[in-house]
Chains A and B, each alone.
Chain A
Amino acid sequence: MYQTKPYEYMVKYTQQKSWIDGRGVFIAFAFFLGGISGGLFMAAAYFNSVLGMFIAICLSALMGFSYMIHLGQPMLFWRMVSKPQTSWISRGFIFIFLYGIFAIITVILAQWFPEATAAITTFKVLAGIFAFAQSIYTGFAVSYVSAIKLWNSAILPILFVICGFSGGMAILLGISLGGSESQLALMENITRITLITFAVILTVYLWNATYNNVSARDAVARMMGGSIAAIFWVGVVVLGVLIPLGISVGTYFSDASSTALIITAVVTEIIGGLALRYVILKAGIYTPLTAGE
């Protein structure tokens, strides 16, 4: 990506750095982990996978850890509950907290008190709602920034949720290998649908950005042809969409699904999800303040 010189600050397109450079990269990890954790929990709750729900909680804890590294004053993290009226970070913090509590209760009940079905269902639904909220708020936090036209899109929260859900489904598929054939087939079908949806929404998002605004168009051009182009094409397009989609479609037409192929799809899908958050944050640029450009 073109590096703006100090005297070009806000005279030319200026890249946002706070949320991607240095310690800021951990916000990309946090958003990725939040999305995939929420997606995995929703999928695991539907398929009654206690292990899946447990991994989702671990991923959410990792998200919190990643957030803490990003914060300048991590010991004051508890103050982030103060402004849910207007701040998406504050809302997100509350969602993560409630999701964590309800998800832990669900896993404890499902593991040690399986006969308490009413309670399990209740907490599972509550945790599922906040898992979805955790997954989508990262998109809203980013899209709320009206100054960065690439981000300021209503499609972004949907893209983040679909990406998180497809990653979550992939992990669930990976940990369910060797289980019931019919359940595996259903998981594979859902994964195929979410992957196709993800590819379509990603295309629509980028296409929409190219005619939305000049700075958004410039950001898309940087994403596809600048220094982050390799991460976009290899990470997002090839690893995140084409390979898992190819494997999913390939296994649909073959008689038996290959374990090695499915694990490959899971890994590439996860890398693709992370690459997506990274390139979107990295490609965020501000419109110049002067008329010089």
Chain B
Amino acid sequence: MTRWGMVIDLHRCIGCYSCMLACRQEHFVPRGIYFNRILISEKGTFPTIQKLLLPVLCNQCKEAACVKVCPTGASSRREDGIVLIDKDKCVGCGYCIVACPYQQRTRFEDPKLEYFPGQGFTPYEELGKKLFPYQPGTPLKCTFCVERVDEGIKNGLKPGVDREATPACVITCPANARTFGDLEDPHSEVSELIAKKKALPLHPEFDTEPSVYYFRV
């Protein structure tokens, strides 16, 4: 059984935001909503300050709190581990947004919000509305670029190996900080990285068994 996952090398991440931009472009993400973020914090006191970069996205948890609390079954986990939201089933109660300990869901409120206020929608935004008709009042989040993964597999490609079948943030990262692959395959690059680098998920104490791992060596 496949379980898609991601490993992020924090030592390699340079905080260039290209993953955020690639994600935004890939999914025509509405203004004010992020599927991918880089959290930037500081540690220590002058002159020994350390800047910490933490790229975060939906962890596609195995024991996802969002899936458990969803009253309609709109949030569900596929067999390959990707957590999706069915916009036609979602009632917009916001329980999943509140329950996610990683705060990776955002309610899509205003479909009239333009990237350039007062100037109307750009052709890019118009196209996005056709390709990704997000439902107002429902939450949005990262899907591990499920369209790319599914289409790639259909065309005989291997996600994590072939660019066309791999999430946009992974193939865009100029520092090669992100790796995508099958967590259940012990010979996949992600599994080997987790074993070799002793990668860990973010805040495992939440007991959600995330599919995104981090390491810094």
Residues of chain A lying within 8 A (CB to CB) of residue B41: 11, 288, 290-293
Interface check A111, CB cutoff 8 A: no
Q: How far is the CB of B10 from the nearest CB of chain A, in Å?
A: 11
- In the docked arrangement, what's the CA distance between A291 and B39, Å? 11
Interface check A97, CB cutoff 8 A: no
Interface check B65, CB cutoff 8 A: yes
Residues of chain B lying within 8 A (CB to CB) of residue A146: 65, 101, 206-207
Residues of chain A lying within 8 A (CB to CB) of residue B52: 290-292
Residues of chain B lying within 8 A (CB to CB) of residue A83: 70-73
Binary flags per residue of A274-293, CB closer than 8 Å to B gives 1, else 0? 00000000001011111111
Interface check A33, CB cutoff 8 A: no
| Contact residues, A81-102 vs B (CB, 8 A) | 81-83, 86-90, 93
With an 8 Å Cβ cutoff, the count of chain A residues facing the other chain is 44
Q: Say yes or no: B70 contacts A147, CB within 8 Å.
A: no
Q: Say yes or no: A10 contacts B94, CB within 8 Å.
A: no
- In the docked arrangement, what's the CA distance between A141 and B93, Å? 12
Q: How far is the CB of A261 from the nearest CB of chain B, in Å?
A: 40
Given known A-B contacts A289-B202, A292-B52, A7 and B40 have beta carbons under 8 A apart: yes
Binary flags per residue of B131-144, CB closer than 8 Å to A gives 1, else 0? 00001111000000
Interface check A122, CB cutoff 8 A: no
Interface check B158, CB cutoff 8 A: no
Binary flags per residue of A1-35, CB closer than 8 Å to B gives 1, else 0? 00000010111001010110010100100000000
Residues of chain B lying within 8 A (CB to CB) of residue A293: 41
Given known A-B contacts A19-B98, A72-B136, A80-B71, A286 and B91 have beta carbons under 8 A apart: no
Q: Say yes or no: B103 contacts A72, CB within 8 Å.
A: no
Q: Say yes or no: B101 contacts A71, CB within 8 Å.
A: no
Given known A-B contacts A16-B98, A72-B94, A82 and B42 have beta carbons under 8 A apart: no
A290 nearest in chain B by CB position: B41
Interface check B43, CB cutoff 8 A: yes
Q: How far is the CB of A110 from the nearest CB of chain B, in Å?
A: 32
- In the docked arrangement, what's the CA distance between A205 and B97, Å? 25
| Contact residues, B46-68 vs A (CB, 8 A) | 52, 54, 56, 65, 67-68
Given known A-B contacts A14-B103, A290-B54, A88 and B69 have beta carbons under 8 A apart: yes
Interface check A180, CB cutoff 8 A: no
Q: Say yes or no: B37 contacts A19, CB within 8 Å.
A: no
Q: Say yes or no: A82 contacts B98, CB within 8 Å.
A: no
- The 8 Å CB contact of B90, one of A11, A16, A72, A89, is A72
Residues of chain B lying within 8 A (CB to CB) of residue A108: none
- The 8 Å CB contact of B68, one of A87, A284, A292, is A87
Q: List 29 A-B contacts (CB under 8 A).
A: A11-B41, A14-B103, A18-B97, A18-B98, A71-B91, A71-B137, A72-B92, A72-B93, A74-B91, A74-B92, A77-B91, A79-B71, A79-B89, A81-B71, A83-B70, A87-B68, A87-B69, A87-B95, A89-B69, A93-B71, A145-B65, A147-B100, A289-B54, A289-B56, A290-B39, A290-B41, A290-B54, A291-B52, A292-B41
- Give me 13 other A-B pairs in contact (C-beta within 8 A), A18-B107, A290-B54 excluded: A19-B94, A19-B98, A71-B92, A72-B91, A72-B107, A74-B92, A83-B73, A145-B65, A146-B65, A147-B65, A147-B101, A291-B43, A292-B41
